[in-house]
């Protein structure tokens, strides 16, 4: 059984209490439970992580590249939070690791402030999911499972 790695960046540990009008009232633990169920449906094993530190996310993407090359990983779903809009390091890590990655946002970043319209992740992502609320994680796992089957 292959693994799906779900990575969450800065401030996503505050889900549930952080701007609920934008991100909803479900916590990160609730999101993890949703992902567990979705992974099970698609016969994938879930590895779910969160970090507020850019370098840790870089290390995890490198690790994912090695796992995908070894045939144990279906791919990565990344909600990089604000690092989406700033991080050349994450862009380079995804490119360098050669990992299949879906960029995810709970909110529709394109309908928000102009500084959220630019993504350093999109050019190196296989697909992008935004604006479906936390259910986007479920949809992204389904999409990744389909991509992995096609490979
Ligand atoms: C986010 C959107 C980002 O602009 C923001 O910085 C986040 C969350 C989302 O899930 O909608 O932290 O990635």
Per residue in 97-129, pLDDT (tens digit) is 999 999 999 999 999 999 999 999 999 999 999
* Residue 126 near residue 147 (C-beta atoms within 8 A): yes
- Confidence category of residue 149, pLDDT binned at 50, 70, 90: confident
Atom of ligand 1 nearest to the CA of 22: 11
Q: Residue 131 belongs to what domain range?
A: 3-150
Is pTM, for the whole model, over 0.95? yes
* Residue 141 near residue 44 (C-beta atoms within 8 A): yes
Count of domains forming the chain: 1
Q: Whose CA is nearest to atom 3 of ligand 1?
A: 81
101-105 sheet: strands from edge to edge: 45-50, 3-8, 73-79, 101-105, 127-130
Would you give the distance in Å from CA 47 to the centre of its chain? 11
Helix %, strand %, coil % of the chain (to 5): 50, 20, 30
CATH of the domain at 58: 3.40.50.9100
- Of 110, 134, 137, whose CA–CA distance to 16 is shortest? 134
Q: Whose CA is nearest to atom 6 of ligand 1?
A: 82
């Amino acid at each position: 059984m292959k693994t799906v790695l779900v990575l969450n960046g800065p401030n996503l540990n505050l889900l549930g209490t952080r701007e609920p009008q934008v991100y909803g009232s479900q916590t990160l633990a609730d999101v993890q439970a949703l992902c567990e169920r979705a992974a099970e449906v698609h016969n994938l094993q879930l590895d779910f992580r969160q970090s507020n530190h850019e370098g840790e996310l870089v290390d995890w993407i490198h690790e994912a590249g090695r796992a995908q090359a070894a045939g144990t990983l279906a791919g990565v779903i990344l909600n990089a939070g604000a690092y989406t809009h700033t991080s050349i390091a994450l862009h380079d890590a995804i490119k360098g690791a050669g990992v299949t990655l879906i960029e995810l946002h709970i909110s529709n970043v394109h309908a928000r402030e102009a500084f959220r319209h630019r993504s350093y992740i999109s050019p190196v992502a296989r697909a992008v999911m935004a604006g479906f609320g936390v259910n986007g994680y479920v949809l992204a796992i389904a999409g990744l499972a389909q991509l992995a089957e096609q490979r």
